[in-house]
Amino acid sequence: MCNFDKELEKWDLLMIGSDLEERKSSTLHLANILKRQGFKDSLVDKIKKDMTIGETPHGTHKSSHRQEAERQIREDPYIRDLLHKIYFFDYVVFPFRRDVLDEKYQTNFWKTPEV
Alpha-carbon distance values, 63 to 68, 69, 70, 102 (Å): 9, 10, 11, 25
Gyration radius from the chain CA atoms: 18
pLDDT in tens, 67-110: 899 899 999 999 999 999 999 888 888 878 889 899 988 888 77
**Mean pLDDT over each residue of the chain, to the nearest integer:** 85
pLDDT in tens, 27-53: 999 999 999 999 999 999 999 988 887
Per-residue buried b or exposed e for 2-17, using 16+ beta carbons within 10 Å of the residue's own CB: eeeeeeeeeeeeeeee
pLDDT confidence band for 55 (50 / 70 / 90):
low
Residue 88 carries which side chain, given as an amino acid letter? Answer: F
CA-CA distance, 100 to 84, in Å (whole number)? Answer: 11
pLDDT at 77: 94
